[in-house]
Amino acid sequence: DGGITQSPKYLFRKEGQNVTLSCEQNLNHDAMYWYRQDPGQGLRLIYYSQIVNDFQKGDIAEGYSVSREKKESFPLTVTSAQKNPTAFYLCASRAGTLLGEKLFFGSGTQLSVL
């Protein structure tokens, strides 16, 4: 079955540590996204990528970094510069060919600070 796989499901970060969240899709989608979800707030865009080797900052990119070396993969690194990293992180993708297409979402990663 095609879909988006995020791992791990739960992740703990120590002070000063960088951690990487994995996102893999087998939908052959061009566009991929990372969102952050905090309690009582909607999803906020961190980064997105429309094609391999290209990505753009979203609304809250500070303290995060991404790469897009393969079409299928779009990992997110939460760096030590992100002072409030505790949140639920969702990866999404879109075929990228039509306006109004829906986003397909992964099952998310809950990141907590030790």
Query: In this chain, which of 19, 46, 87, 92 binds another protein, going by CB under 8 A?
Result: 92
Distance in Å, CB of 16 to another protein, minimum: 28
- Selected from 64, 90, 93, 111, the binder of another protein by CB under 8 A is 90
Q: Are 68 and 50 in contact (CB under 8 A)?
A: no
Report phi then psi at 27, rounded to 5: -95, -5
Pairing mode, if any, of strands 31-37 and 43-51? Answer: antiparallel
Tell me which residues touch another protein (CB under 8 A): 31, 33, 40-45, 48, 50, 56, 88, 90, 92, 94, 96, 99-103, 105-108
